[in-house]
Amino acid sequence: MEQRDSFIQKHGEDLGAFYFLLMLIQTHGRKRLKSGNVTALRALAHDLHAIYLKHTQ
């Protein structure tokens, strides 16, 4: 939570929370890529696409 608070303090509430989320997604994706877990990467991409569709339509 300290890292999240740091992002929010530096960039403001909305943008800081968004940057923190991107950092988490990047970390999660990198770990799955290194382990060769393609299924987890596809699931992550699917979930991100679903979030995008929910908020843009």
Tens digit of each residue's pLDDT, the chain (57 residues): 899 999 999 999 989 988 998 898 899 889 988 999 999 889 988 988 888 888 888
| Side chain identity, residue 18 | F
Distance CA 41, CA 57 (A): 24
Enter the pTM of the model. 0.69
Q: Residues with Cβ < 8 Å from 17, sequence gap 6 or more?
A: 4, 7, 8
> What interhelical angle do 13-35 and 38-56 show, nearest 10?
150
Which pLDDT score, from 0 to 100, does residue 51 have?
A: 84
